[in-house]
Amino acid sequence: MKTLLKYAAALLAVAMALAPIYWLVTISLKREIDQFASPPLWLGFTPTFRHYAGIFVHDAFGRYFLNSVIVSTGSTMIAIGLGLPAAYGLVRFRWPRDWARGISFWILSNRMLPPIVTIVPLFLMLRQVRLLNSLIGLILADTGLNLPFVIWMMRGFIEDLPREIEEAALLDGESRMGVLLRIVLPLVRPGLAATAVFCLIVAWNEFLFALILSQTQTAMTVPVGIAGHVTQYEIQWGAMSAAGVVAMLPVLIFAAAAQRYFVRGLSLGAIKG
């Protein structure tokens, strides 16, 4: 009996977590009259794909999607390209006094900067180098978000590796860079992959930078496109919900891929669970 109650409670929790998402999906598939039906229609409505067609044809949503893909992948790759060597450098080299720790914590503190603090200087900086309203500018801004995370996470993963293998390679005459690329990298690949996924998710979901640093469709990303549908006079429910569904699918897929390292990523490496 007690077990039954427990399962019931657990299922209730799942339902409450998923119901709103389900609702979003149904709104995106409903005709307008059904969207506003009272009492609300949970099932049994005729679906239509008009809203999805609408956002891609009328609203340049395809452009936003492509922009988001470019910005997410670009910033992730740069963050990893810079962050992995940096993590290796911090962990596997000797540093005077407590430098390694100090630098690491300074790097971590960057992750805690509220975006609103850096947005105006960033705007002006990018304007100076004519990178405003450009995807490259956004990639730079998001790299700033992802780089500390990559360094911090990879620090943990590299620390976990036994030194012997690297030592052996060094004895054999391998260069440091060789050790990193040929020995360490394959061993941390799962952790690196998960870190990359986290970076992709962060960049994909990022809103404030994209909102301020973009001025036309050239640089607008998916979250900005969604916000644009929340207009003053009419709430375009069909478009808004279709956009929302399209926006969340990649993230859910990415997340499924990084499941194993969720706890580690969310706790910034503190909990290895």
Instruction: Please give the residues from 41 up to 80 whose contact with other proteins meets the rule CB under 8 A.
Output: 67, 70-71, 73-74, 77-78, 80
The residue among 53 and 260 lying less far from other proteins, judged by its C-beta, is: 260
The whole-angstrom separation of Cα 269 and Cα 273 is 9
Give the nearest distance from C-beta 45 to other proteins in angstroms: 13
Residues 7-36 that bind other proteins (CB under 8 A): 7, 9-11, 13-14, 16-18, 20-21, 23-24, 27, 35-36
Shortest CB 18 distance to other proteins, Å: 6
Asked whether position 178 contacts other proteins by CB under 8 A, the answer is no
> Cα–Cα distance between 115 and 118 in angstroms, integer?
6
- Residue 50 structure tokens: 């008009």
Q: What interhelical angle do 50-57 and 237-257 show, nearest 10?
A: 90
Using the rule CB under 8 A, is 217 a contact of other proteins?
yes
Contacts of 100 (CB under 8 A, 6+ apart): 90, 91, 93
Quick one: CA torsion of 203, 208, 210, 216, rounded to 10 degrees?
160
Q: Tell me which residues in 91-120 interact with other proteins (CB under 8 A).
A: 92-96, 99-100, 103, 105, 107-110, 112-120
Closest of 104, 106, 202 to residue 158, by C-alpha: 104
Nearer to other proteins by Cβ, of 10 and 53: the residue is 10
**d(C-alpha 190, C-alpha 225), whole Å:** 33
* Of residues 140-169, those binding other proteins (CB under 8 A): 140-141, 143-144, 147-148, 151, 163, 166-168
> Which residues are within 8 A (CB) of 185 and not within 5 positions of it... i.e. 6 or more apart?
84, 192
- Does 1 sit near other proteins (CB under 8 A)? no
232-261 residues in contact with other proteins (CB under 8 A) are 232-235, 237, 240-241, 243-244, 247-248, 251-252, 255, 259
